[in-house]
Amino acid sequence: MILIVFALLCLASVPLTGGHVGRLASIRLRGTWVPMVALAIQVLITTVAPDGHEGLHKAVHIATYVLIGVFLWCNRRLPGVRVIGLGAFLNALVITINAGQMAASRTAERLAGLHLPGGFQNSAPLAHPHLLWFGDVIPWPGPFPNVLSIGDILIYAGTLILLHRVCRRPADSTADRPVALEPGAELSIGVPEAEPTG
C-alpha cells in the first residue's frame, strides 16, 4: 500500500512545483499492457492465491520482472526510464539470485512493525540470503508498514525525473520562447523531420 502512496506523492509533487499533470498525455508509451499484466500476476500469486506450489510461484515472480524489463527497454528513450530500469534491475537481480524471492531483513521488518501473512510472499526473510544489502532493508513504519530496497528508491527517483521533465512549465523550455529575428532576416517555415521511433 505504501508503494501506491509514494507513487501518488510523486504525482502530487508536479503541480506543487508548477508543472502540469495534463502533459503526461503527450507521452507515447509502448506496450502499456505489459506492466499491467505483470502487476496483475504479482497480485494473483501474493494476494489472491498465495498458497500452492512454491517453486511455480517463484518462477512466475521472476517472469513478471522479465516482462517489466521488456517494457522498460522499449521505452528507454523517455527521461528517467534508465534510472527506473536500474532500480528494477537491482530488484530483479536479488530476486533471481535468491530463487524467486526478494531477500528482506528481519530487523527492518521488525522496525517497520510488518507482519507477513502465510503463503508465498514476494519479499521475505530468507535462511541464507544473497545480496541482502540490495534487498528490502529499509524499514518504513507507520499506518502502511513496509520494507524498501535501494532499487525501490531508484525507481521512485526515476519516476520523479520522468514526471518533472515531461510536466515542466513552458518557461523552462527554450522551444516555447519567442525567437527574435535580425533586421532583414526572413522567417522560413519547413516541414519538421519525423522523430525516430526507435
pLDDT for residue 175: 42
Q: Which of 99, 107, 94 is nearest to 149 (CA)?
A: 94
Q: Which of 6, 30, 19, 15 is nearest to 198 (CA)?
A: 30
Written as nine digits, the cell of 62 is 521472476
pTM: 0.80
> How far is C-alpha 132 from the chain's CA centre?
20
| Terminal-to-terminal C-alpha distance of the chain | 35
List of E strands, the chain = 102-103, 123-124, 138-140, 146-148
pLDDT along the chain (198 residues), means of 10: 83 91 91 94 91 91 96 96 97 97 95 87 93 96 90 96 86 43 43 46
pLDDT for residue 186: 45
Three-state DSSP class for residue 107? helix
